[in-house]
């Protein structure tokens, strides 16, 4: 690390000492890593939850999970159904499936590995999450790069090559400024700077502690960095879900373990996917009535889901369970089907 990059790191850490966000999964800036077996678990859980999800949305889920399952061993003992139900509404449900797999692997190991390389061997952990846990939970020097860090580094070093090709240069420059000491604080300082000051739109450059060193600011257009390829239009999909009642209960199914909303409780539907419209049959012959439709946006598609309702006395086709309508809020329905349920109950 050169004297310039060392001064830059020190400046950012000084800013973080004053402006760090107080978050339930964070250690106060400058404090040593807690000597608590549950600490790596809390860091890991927060990082998994925060992937493509806002801090505001994650906070109540983090509190709920850590109260119910205070460490990896407790989470490992929970069933997939319990974990998926507790995750309902947070989205990107493959994270919950990987959460369960990883917790069981950690429990079998007796605890979290402490190096970035070993953490990468855990199921569901990519380069970012492994580096974040290594630096924040164990104090190891690791180069932590999320979307906020990508943006800060792209502007700081005026990296004009478009993503994703620019990621090699972003990593190299992030490595240059990552200090040996307080690597976890530095990673979180970069994240906070990107989320609060070096924002994607209208960055607050006058408030930035690194403004004097920012090559993007000197070039005159920091807000255009990083350069991103044009977004592809999301396809429009249509499908149908079925609200089937009997004696104050609604028929719920469990979706297949892989794919969209995999492993989640849901209303039966006509087989829609992100690639094609639904074309299947209702779960049984009944006098169906149209209630309207709900709309939901996934990563790869927009979906308009019609909701049909019927009452029956017999059993529908396939596997499922009768769930008390009065307790539908505790069924752990993902957001799409929670919307459909609210429409049915309205």
- What's the pTM? 0.85
Which entry of 47, 105, 150, 213 is annotated as an active-site residue?
47
Domain residue limits, the chain: 3-224, 236-345
Q: pLDDT per residue over 268-311, tens digit each? A: 999 999 899 999 889 988 999 999 999 999 988 999 999 999 99
Task: Count CB atoms within 10 A of the CB of residue 313.
Answer: 6
Share of the chain above pLDDT 70, in %: 99
Question: Please, what is the average pLDDT of the chain?
Answer: 93
1 has pLDDT over 60: no
CATH of 3-224, one of 3.40.50.12280, 1.10.260.40, 1.10.340.30, 2.40.30.160: 1.10.340.30
Task: Count CB atoms within 10 A of the CB of residue 1.
Answer: 14
DSSP secondary structure of 159-217: --SPTTTTHHHHHHHHHHH--SSSHHHHHHHHHHHHHHTS-SSS--GGG-TTGGG-HHH
Catalytic: 172?
no
Share of the chain above pLDDT 90, in %: 82
d(CA 57, CA 214): 32
Q: What are the φ and ψ backbone dihedral angles of 236, each rounded to 5 degrees?
A: -100, 125
Work out the pLDDT band at 3, boundaries 50, 70, 90.
Answer: low
CATH architecture label of 236-345? Alpha-Beta Complex (3.90)
Work out the pLDDT band at 2, boundaries 50, 70, 90.
Answer: low
Q: pLDDT per residue over 168-209, tens digit each? A: 999 999 999 999 999 999 999 999 999 999 999 999 999 999
d(CA 100, CA 262): 13
The residue assigned the tokens 């402490």 is 114
* Span 158-162, average pLDDT: 96
Report the SS3 class of residue 43. helix
């Amino acid at each position: 690390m050169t004297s310039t990059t060392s001064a830059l790191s020190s400046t950012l850490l000084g800013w973080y000492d004053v402006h760090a966000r107080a978050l339930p999964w964070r250690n106060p800036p400058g404090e040593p890593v807690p000597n608590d077996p549950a600490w790596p678990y809390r860091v890991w859980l927060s990082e998994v939850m925060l992937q493509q999800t806002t801090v505001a949305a994650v906070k109540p889920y983090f509190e709920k999970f850590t109260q119910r399952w205070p460490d990896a061993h407790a989470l490992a003992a929970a069933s997939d159904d319990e974990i998926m139900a507790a995750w309902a509404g947070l989205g990107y449900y493959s994270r919950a499936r990987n959460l369960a797999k990883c917790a069981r692997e950690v429990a079998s190991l007796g605890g979290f590995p402490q190096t970035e390389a070993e953490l990468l061997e855990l199921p569901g952990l990519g380069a970012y999450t492994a580096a974040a846990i290594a630096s924040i939970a164990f104090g190891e020097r690791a180069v932590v790069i999320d979307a906020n860090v990508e943006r800060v580094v792209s502007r700081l070093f005026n990296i004009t090559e478009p993503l994703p090709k620019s990621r090699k240069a972003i990593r190299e420059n992030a490595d240059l400024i990552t200090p040996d000491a307080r690597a976890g604080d530095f990673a979180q300082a970069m994240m906070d700077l990107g989320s609060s000051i070096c924002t994607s739109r209208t960055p607050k450059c006058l408030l930035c502690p690194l403004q004097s060193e920012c090559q993007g600011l000197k070039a005159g257009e920091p807000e255009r960095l990083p350069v991103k390829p044009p977004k592809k239009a999301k396809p429009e999909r249509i499908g149908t879900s079925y609200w089937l009642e009997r004696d104050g209960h609604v028929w719920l199914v469990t979706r297949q373990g892989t794919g969209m909303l995999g492993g989640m409780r849901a209303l039966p539907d006509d087989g829609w996917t992100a690639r094609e419209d639904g074309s299947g049959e209702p779960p049984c012959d009944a006098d169906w009535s149209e209630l309207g439709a709900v709309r939901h946006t996934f990563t790869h598609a927009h979906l308009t889901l019609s909701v049909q309702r019927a009452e029956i006395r017999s059993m529908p086709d396939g596997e499922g369970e009768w769930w008390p309508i009065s307790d539908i809020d505790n069924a752990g329905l993902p957001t799409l089907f929670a919307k459909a349920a609210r429409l049915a109950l309205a």
